[in-house]
Amino acid sequence: MEKKAKTSRGEDKRIRIVEAATQLFSRYGFKRTSLDLLAAEAGVAKPTVYAYFTDKEAIFVAVVEHVGARLHAAAEEASNGDAPIEERLAAMLSAKHTTYYELVEASPHAQELVDSQNRLAAGVVEKADRAYLRLVAQVIERSDLSPSRAGLTPNSAAHLFVRASSGAAHDATSGASHRRHVAEIVRVLCLAMR
């Protein structure tokens, strides 16, 4: 269980711990990331880690929440503006899927991270995914796309974009190639809805 920080300075330390954990879990996996290593990476004493989190599982859940919030904020930012819908959707989908690819799928510990996520933070992920899908559906609904031409609603079109983009990792070799795959998927799907 996560403990509550009391000050903004305390919040800075908490964020440092979570950001360090994000990198370490990606680099070493859940099992090999020790609290000693985490404290050293965050530049805090091990008792400081325990002042904010009861155990490594609580830190992992905080990482999933932090990454989810960061992905949603990036997708929300990409959704705004006057760029063509293809660019906005590609940026929104890359904000989620390319970042996930770089943090999890490209990690040598991908399966362990996915298993840990499913075991410890499935509810957090489900909630974040629902909010993300709502955002994508809203952007589609306010765009010049006509999902009904493809027999879809804005909500089902959002699901299609997300499902298709989750496959962009297939034969991706880098974040850049992953982003390129997402852009290609978006371009083709948008053509079908015009």
Cα(194)–Cα(192) distance, rounded to whole angstroms?
A: 6
Helix (H), strand (E), coil (C) string for the chain: CECCCCCHHHHHHHHHHHHHHHHHHHHHHHHHCCHHHHHHHHCCCHHHHHHHECCHHHHHHHHHHHHHHHHHHHHHHHHCCCCCHHHHHHHHHHHHHHHHHHHHHCCCCHHHHHHHHHHHCHHHHHHHHHHHHHHHHHHHHCCCCCHHHHCCCHHHHHHHHHHHHHHHHCCCCCHHHHHHHHHHHHHHHHHHCC
Residue 136 identity: V
Cβ proximity of 172 and 181 under 8 Å:
yes
Domains of the chain: 8-192 (1.10.357.10)
pLDDT tens digit at each of 194 positions of the chain? 555 544 577 789 999 999 999 999 999 999 999 999 999 999 999 999 999 999 999 999 999 999 999 999 999 999 998 899 999 999 999 999 999 999 898 899 999 999 999 999 999 999 999 999 999 999 999 999 999 999 999 999 999 999 999 999 999 999 999 999 999 999 999 999 99
